[in-house]
Amino acid sequence: MASLMKHFKTLALLVLVVNLSYQYHIGDAAKNEGLGASFIFGDSLVDAGNNNYLSTLSKANVPPNGIDFKLSGGNPTGRFTNGRTIGDIVGEELGQPKYAVPFLAPNATGKAILYGVNYASGGGGILNATGSIFVNRLGMDVQIDYFNITRKEIDKLLGKSEARDFLMKKSFFSITVGSNDFLNNYLLPVVSIGARISESPDAFVDDMINHFRTQLTRLYQLDARKFVIANVGPIGCIPYQKIINELNENECVDLANKLALQYNGRLKDLVAELNENLPGATFALANVYDLVMELIQNYDKYGFTTASRACCGSGSGSGGQLGGIIPCGPTSSLCSDRYKHVFWDSYHPSEAANLILAKYLLDGDKTYISPINLRQLRDL
Ligand SMILES: *[C@@H]1O[C@H](CO)[C@@H](O)[C@H](O)[C@H]1NC(C)=O
Ligand SMILES: *[C@@H]1O[C@H](CO)[C@@H](O)[C@H](O)[C@H]1NC(C)=O
Ligand SMILES: *[C@@H]1O[C@H](CO)[C@@H](O)[C@H](O)[C@H]1NC(C)=O
């Protein structure tokens, strides 16, 4: 009997210890020490594999995409780069335990969604018609419909009140979108000849901003509070634009950059307006335009050897100029030093560039991320 009691005491002690350490971890999480989850919206800059599950011409699940992505052993994942996207890196740096799963992936169920979900889709834009040239893609309206589904799942997993708390305090909502509305809509002659004749740049940008306001407000209604909004990068300077417009290495396409700047000016006002009008929400504006321009203009300062030639798909061996418009794939030429290229393919930054961009957004000053940086946003 005494021995049984002793066993019982040992067991009780064990239960107590396990319980304490369990509570300790929960306590940690509640203290906001790490980011709980990222909900990632946008286009191919942050797509982590949704397009693998769509019949679309915009796909990256072929090698050598993903060649430097450690978790997949260098196999393609659907990310449009050689390694991690900015969304992956930011989540990792802020203490999110796992990458956000693509919404369309079969494993985006159960507790896996508590690390976040990625809705981004190559070819997607703010406007529903954007990217129709790819046949299929998820535009922002659809991405938010999908988050509404996730939202209900989180209620079931955590209970309504804890779910709200988790989404409002421990979750990031990042939106990287807009480039395709220009590149694969307004500026694309076959698709937009009508639109460009009937719509001035002002009217087109107006349309984008009005749709985006509605979309961000819907996310707010679904309890999103910590927002990261990326502006449109210098799309006139990406290798694709240089190739189709037959520019010199250090030239950029004026019209594309002008449209991006026009949109970015209006976006800045929209972000200020939402910060003012949506109580409890913080919108951090990521100045991707100036940031990518800084990398392009001062690439050598950051250890790159080129900001005009893509690593995958341009250069010798694969059809010269044409190589730059065919997507990166098994038959593309591949550079020998992936860490010396700002651009992975004709549209997308390399992982090396993403690491630098992410660092500026995490810890940088108001030049590149305002009103606060991402580390400060997490700790709110
Ligand atoms: C889910 O599946 C994707 C492939 O679609 C994979 O990249 C990812 O690592 C998986 N995530 C989890 C949490 O199992
Ligand atoms: C937007 O496009 C999707 C297909 O991608 C379609 O199902 C939906 O009806 C469209 N929405 C509007 C408002 O046109
Ligand atoms: C979310 O879905 C519900 C229906 O399940 C709908 O009533 C509600 O308006 C949706 N919310 C948003 C913000 O789209």
Distance in Å from the first CA to the final CA of the chain: 55
- Whether residue 173 is predicted with pLDDT greater than 90 in this model: the reply is yes
Question: What's the pLDDT at 325?
Answer: 65
- Give the number of the atom of ligand 3 that is nearest the alpha carbon of residue 151: 1
Contact 98, 20 (CB under 8 A): no
**Backbone dihedral region of 299: left (phi > 0), alpha (psi from -120 to 50 degrees) or beta?**
alpha
- Give the number of the atom of ligand 3 that is nearest the alpha carbon of residue 221: 13
CA of 128 to the centre of ligand 2 (A): 6
Pocket of ligand 2 from Cβ distances under 6 Å: 128, 139, 141-142
Answer yes or no: is the C-beta of 112 below 6 A from any ligand 1 atom. Answer: yes
Contact 174, 216 (CB under 8 A): no
Domains and CATH numbers, the chain: 36-294+354-378 (3.40.50)
Looking at the chain, the whole-number percentage of residues with pLDDT higher than 70 is 86
Least distant ligand from the CA of 222: 3
- 256-267 pLDDT tens trace: 999 999 999 999
3-state secondary structure of 175: strand
CA of 68 to the centre of ligand 1 (A): 16
Note the residue count of the chain.
Answer: 380
Catalytic residue selected from 38, 43, 44, 346: 44
Question: What's the pLDDT at 14?
Answer: 40
Q: Is 211 a catalytic residue?
A: no
Least distant ligand from the CA of 152: 3
- Distance CA(120)–CA(165), nearest Å, equals 24
Least distant ligand from the CA of 224: 3
- Give the number of the atom of ligand 3 that is nearest the alpha carbon of residue 218: 13
Catalytic residue selected from 179, 345, 346, 350: 345
Write the DSSP string, 94-132: TT-SSPPEETTSTT--GGGGGGEEE---TT--SSTTTTG
Question: What's the pLDDT at 35?
Answer: 86
CA of 75 to the centre of ligand 1 (A): 12
Find all residues with CB under 8 Å of 173, minimum gap 6, and list them. Answer: 38, 39, 41, 219, 224, 225, 226, 227, 228
Question: What's the pLDDT at 19?
Answer: 38
Question: What's the pLDDT at 245?
Answer: 83
Q: Is 44 a catalytic residue?
A: yes
Catalytic residue selected from 181, 332, 348, 350: 348
Q: Where are the beta strands (DSSP E) in 156-209?
A: 171-176
Cβ count within 10 A of residue 128: 13
How much is the mean pLDDT over the chain? 87
pLDDT band at 344 (very low <50, low <70, confident <90, very high): very high
Q: Which residue among 51, 101, 109, 121 has the greatest number of ligand 1 atoms within 8 angstroms of its CB, and so is best to mutate?
A: 101
CA of 343 to the centre of ligand 2 (A): 32
- 280-298 pLDDT tens trace: 999 999 999 999 999 999 9
- pTM, entire model: 0.88
- Give the number of the atom of ligand 3 that is nearest the alpha carbon of residue 145: 14
Contact 36, 62 (CB under 8 A): no
Q: Is 345 a catalytic residue?
A: yes
Helix (H), strand (E) counts: the chain: 12, 7
Residue type, 140: M
Write the DSSP string, 8-33: HHHHHHHHHHHHHHHHHHHHHHHTT-
**Assigned token pair, 254:** 């004026």
Answer yes or no: is the C-beta of 214 below 6 A from any ligand 3 atom. Answer: no
- 14-64 pLDDT tens trace: 443 333 333 334 334 434 467 889 999 999 999 999 999 998 888 899 999
**Backbone dihedral region of 49: left (phi > 0), alpha (psi from -120 to 50 degrees) or beta?**
left
pLDDT band at 240 (very low <50, low <70, confident <90, very high): confident
Answer yes or no: is the C-beta of 305 below 6 A from any ligand 3 atom. Answer: no
Question: What's the pLDDT at 55?
Answer: 83
